[in-house]
């Protein structure tokens, strides 16, 4: 070690604690720096002021409540109470600048119908910015932050294909009450041949080159009581909205990535897989968790994601 002979901070004689270790190791006994001492006195003063202003010391059955007060409205009455974070939150939710400004917009949204909202640039800007946050906190974990969804699990909200309808009213109903997409598994119903036939018929509906004989046999199953597919997917395959059944005649798939499959065999495997296993998908209801205004804003936002009708 270098020979560090620190000078004492105060001039004059070196003050030490008086000990000597190992013969010559000594310890200075400098006074505390003045700034430190003052900082300490300041914290003491701060504590005393805090005790006076805010709830602090336990006393008997209660506590010292401090002299600070908060006023808020509860059940139509004005309540004034000692300062506490819960009362302050109620006050902030009711009377802060941000809350008041937001409430102004929310009241306008609440009383306007969708057409008025779509026609009002100011309200649309509010809907876009507010609903983006609500969507991110609540919907994005399933539907993705851009609404693209996850094949098989959560539908794409940004395209113009809708299971339950793409009008803004349909979307609002979906969000309010949730949806349960259900298709029974046909594993037990069909033998291998029937499954292959109906698969070819389904692929033919969207313009794929399939075996016409097989598709014909499949059609009988699809449109007849053996499969009963027509009940949900309709005889033309476009899907019954009240069942949330997929449109089988277009190039957009929600359960399986048919366009991405390598060849016809892979496509057939995907389609027959869905038919054998069926579908159960749940979209949770948001009534109660989100306010009616928030749901209205979200409906507008989802409608504008790309495919609203």
276 binds other proteins per the rule CB under 8 A:
no
Binding partner at 61 among other proteins, ligand HEC, none, C-beta below 5 to 8 Å by kind: other proteins
Q: Considering beta carbons, is residue 81 or 167 the nearer one to other proteins? A: 81
Q: Shortest gap between Cβ of 284 and other proteins (angstroms)?
A: 6
Interacting residue with other proteins among 61, 121, 262, 265 (CB under 8 A): 61
- Interaction with ligand HEC in 149-188: which residues (CB under 6 A)? 154-155, 157, 162-164, 171, 174-175, 179, 181-184, 186
193 binds other proteins per the rule CB under 8 A:
no
Interacting residue with ligand HEC among 55, 66, 144, 228 (CB under 6 A): 228
298 binds ligand HEC per the rule CB under 6 A:
yes
198 binds ligand HEC per the rule CB under 6 A:
yes
What does the chain look like in DSSP terms, one character per residue? Answer: -----PPPSSSSSPPB-S--BTTTB--B-PPPPHHHHHHHHHHHHHHHHHHHHS---EETTEE---S-EEEEEETTEEEEEE--HHHHHHHHHHHSHHHHHHHHHHHHHHHS-HHHHHH-HHHHHHHHHHHHHHHHHHTHHHH-TTS--BTTTB--SSSS--SS--SHHHHHHHHHH-EEEEE---TTT--HHHHHHHHHHHHHHTT----HHHHHHHHHHHHSTTT-HHHHH-TTSS--GGGTPPPSSSS--SSS-TTTSSSHHHHHHHHHHHHHH-EEEEEPP-BTTB-HHHHHHHHHHHHTTTT--
Interacting residue with other proteins among 68, 129, 145, 193 (CB under 8 A): 145
Q: Shortest gap between Cβ of 76 and ligand HEC (angstroms)?
A: 31
Site residues, other proteins (CB under 8 A) = 55, 57-58, 61-63, 72-75, 79, 81, 84-90, 92-94, 96, 98-99, 137-138, 140-142, 144-145, 150, 153-154, 281-284, 288-289
């Amino acid at each position: 070690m270098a020979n560090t002979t620190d000078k004492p901070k105060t001039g004059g004689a070196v003050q030490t604690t008086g000990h000597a270790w190992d013969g010559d190791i000594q310890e200075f006994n400098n006074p505390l720096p003045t700034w430190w001492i003052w900082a300490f006195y300041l914290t003491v003063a701060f504590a005393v002021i805090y005790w006076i202003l805010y709830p602090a010391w336990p006393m008997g059955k209660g506590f010292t409540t401090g002299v600070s007060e908060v006023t808020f409205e509860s059940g139509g009455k004005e309540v004034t109470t000692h300062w506490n974070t819960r009362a302050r939150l109620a006050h902030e939710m009711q009377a802060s600048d941000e809350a008041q400004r937001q409430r102004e917009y929310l009241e306008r949204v609440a009383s306007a119908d969708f057409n008025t909202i779509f026609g009002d640039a100011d309200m649309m800007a509010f809907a876009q910015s507010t609903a983006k946050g609500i969507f991110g906190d609540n919907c994005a974990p399933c539907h993705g932050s851009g609404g693209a969804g996850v094949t098989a699990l959560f539908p794409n909200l940004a395209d113009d294909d809708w299971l339950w309808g793409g009008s803004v009213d349909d979307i609002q109903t979906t969000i309010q009450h949730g949806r349960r997409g259900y298709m029974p598994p046909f594993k037990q119903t069909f033998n291998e041949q029937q499954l292959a036939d109906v698969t070819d018929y389904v692929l033919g509906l969207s313009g794929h080159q399939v075996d016409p004989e097989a598709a014909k046999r499949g059609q009988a199953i699809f449109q007849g009581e053996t499969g009963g597919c027509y009940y949900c997917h309709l005889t033309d395959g476009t899907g019954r909205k009240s069942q949330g059944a997929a449109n089988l005649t277009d190039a957009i798939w929600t359960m399986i990535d048919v366009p991405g499959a390598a060849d016809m065999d892979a496509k057939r495997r995907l389609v027959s897989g869905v038919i054998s296993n069926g579908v159960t998908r749940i979209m949770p209801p948001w009534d109660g968790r989100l306010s009616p205004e928030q749901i209205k804003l979200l409906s507008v936002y989802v409608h504008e994601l790309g495919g609203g009708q």
